Amino acid sequence: MVVERRRPAPDTSLGYLWQLPAMILLDRLPSPMVAVHVDGTLVYANPAFEQLVGWDRSELDAETFEKLPALATTESADRSPLYTALRESAGHLVDLVHSDGSLVRTIVSTSVLLRQDDPLALVTFYDLTDQLWANGPDAAIPPAFLEPK
């Protein structure tokens, strides 16, 4: 006997979105994203981030990730330097080191998780490498990636 385990179809399109699991949505986003725990553990990297830096998930761990970004870190007693740096780098140019050794110039977004007591920083990286090569270092930073005032 086959038992149907699917949820009933939602009544609305918005209802459909409400039913989708967050991890499926994050995996499908074309923007490179990572989630880092306050202790510095790399919790999540989506396929777009893997493509951006040339590493696959099995190779990406906290130790590898700490080598990727050249982030200015601030010491904090209760938070890892990596977590703090990701939050403080919002809207700033950050170089990531690709698996082939080349630099990938990016802008880090503000964490999607906005509260200061959130245990994760979930950020997006906007790849500016081609734009900076074409337009020089003074190329405009997209407003969506600038820290809110």
Has residue 76 been placed in a domain? Answer: yes
Its pTM stands at: 0.75
Has residue 79 been placed in a domain? Answer: yes
Nearest to 113 by CA among 17, 37, 20: 37
CB contact at 8 A, 42 and 62: yes
- Model confidence over 59-113: pLDDT tens digits? 776 666 666 665 544 455 556 777 888 888 888 888 888 889 888 889 999 999 8
Range of the domain at 101: 30-135
Where on the phi/psi map is residue 136: left (φ > 0), alpha (ψ -120 to 50), or beta?
Answer: left
| 74: DSSP letter | -
CATH number, domain at 41? 3.30.450.20
* Least confident range of 1-15, 22-36, 74-88, 111-125: 74-88
Has residue 126 been placed in a domain? Answer: yes
| 80: DSSP letter | -
Question: Total domain count for the chain?
Answer: 1
Radius of gyration over alpha carbons of the chain, in Å? 18
84 vs 127 pLDDT, higher one: 127
d(CA 138, CA 51): 26
Has residue 141 been placed in a domain? Answer: no
Has residue 61 been placed in a domain? Answer: yes
Has residue 8 been placed in a domain? Answer: no
Amino acid at 67: K
Has residue 115 been placed in a domain? Answer: yes
pLDDT of 46 over the 90 cut: yes
d(CA 52, CA 4): 39
Has residue 23 been placed in a domain? Answer: no
pLDDT of 125 over the 90 cut: yes
